[in-house]
Each structure stands twice: as C-alpha cells, then as structure tokens.
Chain A
Amino acid sequence: MAINHELYFADANAMRRYKIGRILSNVLLYSFLSILALFILIPFYWMIVTSLKSNATLESELINRQLGFFPTDVTFANFILVFGRSAQENFARYYLNTIFVAVASTAITLVTTVLAAFAFARLSFKGKEVLFTILLATMMIPGEMMVITNYQTISVLQWRDTFMALIFPFSVSVFYMFYLRQTFQQIPNELYLASKVDGYGDFAYLWKVMIPIAMPSIVTVIILEIMGSWNAFIWPALVTESKDMQLVANGLMSIFTSSEFSQWNNIKLAASVVVTTPLLVFFLVFKKYIMRGVSRSGIKG
C-alpha cells in the first residue's frame, strides 16, 4: 500500500478525516491483537515464573495470600531436581528415550512413506487406484480403533515396555504418503524422460531427482513426525510400565500425580518447562518450514 493518499482526496479535511479513521481502526486492531497475544503468552509466562520460585518463596506466598507476578529470588533448583536429582523422575532419561523414539520412527517413516508415495506417483501397477482409495478411506477412521487392537498385538508379541512398541506403530502414515505423492506428482514428466535417456532406472530417478526436488515436503514430514513423538502421551502410557521406558509427556504426568510433589507447583511447572522448551526451540529454528508445512498440508487435505 505504498500509495500517496494525498492524491485521492478532494481537500485537506477529507484527508484528515481519513487519517483519523485509519489511526482509530489501527488502535482497535492492535488492542484486539495484543489482548489475544497476552492470552496466549500468559500461560508461558506463568510457567516460567513459577518454575523459578524456591519452595520457601512459594510457601510464604501461600501464607501471605499474595502471588509473585515477577521473579524475586530466581533459583534453578527445580530444574536440577527434575533432571535427575529426584529418585523417582529423571527427565534426562525421558529426554533420551523420546529422542531415540523420534529419530527411529522418523527414519523408518521416511523409508516407508517416500517409497510408497513414489509407487503411487510414478509407477503403474494393478490395483493402484483401489489400493489408494482404501488408504484414503483409512484416514477417516479414528485412531482409537487401531489403539484397541494394537495394544493387544503388542501384548501378544510380548513387546510391552520395549522400544519396538513405541516405534513400530508410528512407522507408517497414510497422510504423509498422500502428501508426498502430491509433491512427487508435481514434478514434470520431462525430467523423468530425460533421466531415462541418461540411463537412470526408476529408483535412481527417485533418489537423484525426486527426493532432492521434494526436499521441502520431506522436511515437513520429518518435522511433523518429530513433533508427534514429542507429544505422544496415551500410547506410551498404555504400553510402558517401567520408568526407564517412559517418554517426556508421561514423566510429566507422573510428576503431577505423585503425592511427593503435590503442593510444589514450582517443581511441577519446572517439569512443564523442561518438556516444552525443546519443541519451542525447534520451532524457532525451523519456523519457516513448520508454518509453511502446516498450512500447506492443512489446505490440501
């Protein structure tokens, strides 16, 4: 809108009226945006401020019925506690578990979905349309239906409390397949024919041409899969029992439910900070990819 508005107005008064109107509407817009931004930010602020309070501060606040909105005596003791000083909860271990599960399930998912998307986008075979329709139909079905049976499968295979139970059910995704297939289909045929002339086979073409071109979509899949592992809660809660196998969200829930910490909101929220921070840092680093990926994958649904 780099237009010189002065050209458009009959006289100075009309221009002034227009300018005042614009300032007013800007004030309204920014007030609305700022109120909602505060609404979004307050829980983050509260989480951080509370996690930095010492037990003594928290107790005196409770007695004085006066809440500290600002950090007074900043302490990192709560973080040290949740990172291994507590006998019951060790977030260092939960971190490692979650990172391992995220990396492994992302790696396997990439292999399964890229290859399958390639088959649907580029190869011709019997029953292709039927199979693809069946796959799309499964996207309508709520995951709970799978969870009921998968829980039994994992139990019958005696995989409870193993990493296999945490990784394998998340090693394929119809949605990613569908998303990657669309990206692959946008690659012009000329490239395929040219690579044929150069003597490339189909799989060499996938590896040397399609994957590099589709990299932005593949990165989106990687990001979504990592976020999924980091947020996984109910499945690990069902199939793991020992503390050594739990993921971050489950560790967090144990801290909240244990009687040991019931009155210590500072320790509970320190655990929340510990669970939230890696994903937030990840987001700030890969902001462009994540926001673009999410909005694209959303609209194309």
Chain B
Amino acid sequence: MLEDKRDGWKALIALAPAMFFLVIFIFFPIVNTFLLSFMDNFAWWPGAGLWLFGNTFDAFPSLGNYIAVITDPIFIDAIVNTMTLVVISVPLTITVSLLLAVALHNVRFMKGIYQTIFFLPYVTNAIALGMVFNVMFSKFDNGLMNQLLALFNVQGQNWVGADGATKTNMAIVLIIYSLWNGLAFKVLVFMAGLASIDKQYYDAARIDGSTKMRIFQKITVPLLSPQIFYITITSFIGAFKMYTSVISIFGKGPFNFGGSAGNTWITIVGYVYKVMRTDTGKAAAGSILLLIIILMITGIQFLVGKKRIHY
C-alpha cells in the first residue's frame, strides 16, 4: 500500500483522547465487573477512597455469587420471563417486518409516507411511548383497549395494573409494545436489502409463471438471507437485553416490573439493575451470565448461518 512508515507518536496523539475514556469507562469496568463477580460479599461505599482498596470482600475467587444468583427464585423468574418474551416477540416481529418490507417494496403510491410512518417508533422515546401504552391499556373505562373491547361486547380487562392483572395480560401488552417498537429498524434494513436484489430474478420468475408465494419463498427470502441473518442475531441479542420497554409499560419507576411485588415480568437486565446497588457481586454474576447467553446465541447463529445464507 503506502511506503512503510511508523507514525508512533502521531498515533499516540490521535488515540489518547479515546483511550482515556475507553480505559476508565469500558476496559476497566469489564475487568473489574468480571473480578468482583467472583468476590463473596463484595462491599463498597461512596467516598471509600482509592479504587479496590476501600472495598471489602470475604472470599476470592469464589463461585458464591453465581450460586446465589442461579438459586435466587427472582433470577430464575428473570431468565424464564426473558426467554418467554424473546421466543414470542422475536419471530413475530421479524415475520411482520419482513412481510411489511415486501409489501412496501411492491407499492409506489404513498410509499414514502408509509415508510416514514413505520420508521416513527425508532425516533420516539421508548419510555414516553411505553407510558402511552400503559394509559391505552388502563383497566378503567377510559383505557382505549377496554373501550374497543366494549364495542364488541367483551368484558374489559385489567391489563397492566399492580392490583390483579394476570401475567398473561401483561405479556400481551409487552409483546404488542415490542412489536410496535421493533418494526422500524427491521423494515428499514429489509427495504435496503430488497432494493439491492436484481430485478432480473423477478422478471424471469414472472415469465415462468411462478406464483407470488413461490417467488417470495424461492427468490426473496434466499436473496435477503444476509439481512435476515443480521436482523435475527441483533433482535435476539436486543430482546435478551429487554428492560426499558418493560418498566415503561408498568410506569412505576425504574425497578418495577409489574404485579403487586413489582417482579412479575422482571428481565435479566432488570434483575441486574435492581440488585446492583445493594448486591453488587450478584449483579456482576448476573451480567456475566447474560454475556454467556449472548455469546451462545451468536455462536449458534453463526453455525446455522454458515449453512443457510445464500449470497
């Protein structure tokens, strides 16, 4: 390429500002959180002085935090809840956004307007709109959903209230909200993928008299497989980190996940935040377990993806 040269000092100047923040807020935290997940009864206090020296812990290295976390019924709930939401919401959102992108790709009139509408959730505050859903699914008669149900003579439900909403009702609202919230980005990525597919394939299929369903199965999906693969990985990872949508749906503060005890739909990330300030070691162990889950999903999907992607 270029002549062999060393720009050591220039690189130092150029990297210094970034490295300053990276070391303090990214590298050090990764190492520190990893270490303290293996410290029993890790305790610290604000103003304790120098890092790590002002802290106390009982044993290191120890699996105490990991055992405490995986035997904590709330953490088990968090895992089961997160898995449930992931398994339902990810395939649903991907399917709907794929159909939506194909439909959008095949129209011309008002295409831009529809595209803008479907992108809106991406540029709205997740908390603000979660709270709109909270109001729309209010158990009272001024809840929009219950009013709509009344038009069909269906009894109004307690959807998200802390006083007796069933876990299923809450899940319905959560999944509707994650669908609402999740379409924008996926539709955009699929649209970009569709735009790059050569029109000749479709013309050839049309000349052969293929049905629309067959064209979708045999041309659109295979040629879109890089985007589908990418969206599947990012959606799974994103859904495993679900947190903001849950707390905003219940609207009772950053550590309330619905139900009378505020733990009904607690997620893994929610658990980490909830115990972070009182049980730092457990929070650290929980976050490491989340990392392991994310690495496993990515690994599995790369293995599957290798066989399935047709470029």
On A, residues with C-beta under 8 Å from B are: 25-26, 29-30, 32-33, 36-37, 39-44, 46-47, 50, 58, 61-62, 65-67, 108, 111-113, 115-116, 118-119, 123-126, 128, 135, 138, 140-142, 144-153, 155-156, 158, 160, 168-169, 171-172, 174, 177, 189, 192, 202-203, 227, 230-231, 233-234, 237-238, 248-249, 252-253, 256-257, 265, 268-269, 271-272, 275-276, 279-280, 282-283, 287, 290-291, 294-295, 298-299, 301
Contacts and interface: CB of A to CB of B under 8 A. Distances in A.
B103 interface: yes
Interface stretch (B56-64, B75-83, B130-138, B213-221): B130-138
* A66, A156, A177, most chain B CB atoms within 10 A: A156
Interface string B125-154: 111110111111010111010010000000
Interface stretch (B84-92, B291-299, B303-311): B291-299
Contacts of A149: 28-29, 32-33, 36
Nearest to B281: A148
Contacts of B291: 140-142, 145
A299 B252 CA distance: 36
User: How big is the B interface, by class?
Assistant: 35 or more
Contacts of A203: 10
Contacts of A108: 17, 21
A123 B14 contact: yes
B236 interface: no
A138 B27 contact: yes
B132 A144 contact: no
A67 B144 contact: yes
A130 B290 CA distance: 26
Contacts of B12: 125
A265 B138 contact: yes
Given A40-B183, A144-B287, A148-B284, A279 B125 contact: yes
Interface in B91-124: 96, 99-100, 103-104, 106-107, 114-124
Given A125-B8, A146-B26, A234-B243, A253 B136 contact: no
- Secondary structure at the B interface, as helix, strand, loop or mixed, is helix
Nearest to B28: A149
Contacts of B28: 149, 153
Contacts of A269: 131-132, 135
B189 A298 contact: yes
Nearest to A283: B123
Contacts of B129: 43, 47, 272, 276
B251 interface: yes
B11 interface: yes
Given A146-B33, A148-B33, A299 B142 contact: no
B135 A257 contact: no
B25 A150 contact: yes
Nearest to B55: A152
B127 A253 contact: yes
A145 B244 contact: no
* A29, A33, A192, most chain B CB atoms within 10 A: A33
B172 interface: no
Nearest to A176: B18
Interface in B149-204: 180, 183, 185, 188-189, 191-193
B123 A280 contact: yes
